[in-house]
Amino acid sequence: MEITAYGVLGDERPLLQAAFDEAFQGRHALRCLELFLDRNTAPTAAGHEIVLSSVNDRLDAEVIAALAAGGTRLVAQRATGYNNIDLDAARAHGLAVARVSHYSPYSVAEFAWALALAVGRRVVRAAGRSREFDFRLDGLMGRDLHGRTAGILGTGAIGTAFARIAHGFGMRLLGNDVRENPECLALGMTYVPPSRLFAESDLISLHAPLLRETHHIVGREELARMKDDAILVNSSRGGLVDTEALVETLRAGRLDGVGLDVYEEEAGLFHLDKSLEVMTDDTLARLTTFRNVIVTSHQAYFTREAVGEIVAATVANVRDHLAGRAGENLLVPPPG
């Protein structure tokens, strides 16, 4: 059997290939493709029982139907989030869907802090000046984080790892989630409604999944509540933030800095080289012009440790499917 993986990154490919070679000893071949799975590329999956999807593939109802018609029986998502997959359509077409339920939370939490520090201490601007041999400090003054307030929206494994680092900085901790996390409470976190979290925090970091309830959880009203000199970091899902409202806020001269590793319209852009093309996404183009904004290409998870765990979980999901087992990572079980 040949298994097809979509949206495979250059640094990911050898890890994925080695893991599948070791697990299946040549019994099942792995075809790694850089192209993303969507309505235009779905025909390339025809005849492949197992498809490995990436976070920026678009598996809507039309793609799910095409996969099922082509003989695909399992979609194994190489990510924790699955908002890009129409699970109802998968159920209707008898297509099993699995994901990676967890991987190193430190990869994302540490990168979120890298963004927070980079925007707060003007690191990118300073590095750019140094390349031009401009060593002035004008416009580079930052602020201490010690004694300030960190607001963490979503206190699962990643949010908790972020909170531990904030605690190490000596920050006051505010949190919001559907349930309180004892580990965060032990750090001294106070759980508060979102309105209070946005109003009182000097640094807000988003670590919530993208659901109907969390879509644009940071909108005009929330941004208006934030302090003029607050920092916003999003390393979770782009759809958590109303980007148009964020641009309006920045144009008004508000917020000390914004670090975005995700963007709500990133599919078809992130993880691709668009440097020789005209950027037709006006919102993203506008975002990148603000000196106090850093946009990275959904790379927070991209460490050797995290990708290794993602690959291992993906292999396990394929093993379970081939053995007819219902593994712990199933989102949609096979029919029957």
**Cβ atoms of 58 and 89 closer than 8 Å:** no
Dihedral-angle region of residue 7 (phi above 0 means left; psi in -120 to 50 means alpha; beta otherwise)? left
**How does pLDDT run along the chain (336 residues), one tens digit per residue?**
899 999 999 999 999 999 999 999 989 999 999 999 999 999 999 999 999 999 989 999 999 999 999 999 999 999 998 999 999 999 999 999 999 999 999 999 999 999 999 999 999 999 999 999 999 999 999 999 999 999 999 999 999 999 999 999 999 999 999 999 999 999 999 999 999 999 999 999 999 999 999 999 999 999 999 999 999 999 999 999 999 999 999 999 999 999 999 999 998 899 999 999 999 999 999 999 999 999 999 999 999 999 999 999 999 999 999 999 998 999 999 997
Length of the chain: 336
Rg (C-alpha) for the chain, rounded Å, is: 21
What pLDDT is recorded for position 87?
97
Q: What tokens does 38 get? A: 């969507």
Burial class (CB in 10 A: 0-12, 13-18, 19+), 27: exposed
Q: Is 266 a catalytic residue?
A: yes
What pLDDT is recorded for position 319?
96
Neighbours of 108 (CB within 10 A): 27
Neighbours of 204 (CB within 10 A): 25
Whole-model pTM: value is 0.92
Residue in 73, 266, 305, 309 annotated catalytic: 266
- The identity of residue 41, as a single letter, is T
Q: Is 110 a catalytic residue?
A: no
Query: What domains lie within the chain, and their CATH numbers?
Result: 2-103+303-332 (3.40.50.720), 105-295 (3.40.50.720)
What pLDDT is recorded for position 176?
98
What pLDDT is recorded for position 99?
97
**Cβ atoms of 298 and 270 closer than 8 Å:** yes
Instruction: Give me the sheet containing 172-176, strands edge to edge.
Output: 190-191, 172-176, 149-153, 203-206, 231-234, 257-260, 293-295
Residue in 148, 237, 248, 254 annotated catalytic: 237
What pLDDT is recorded for position 174?
98
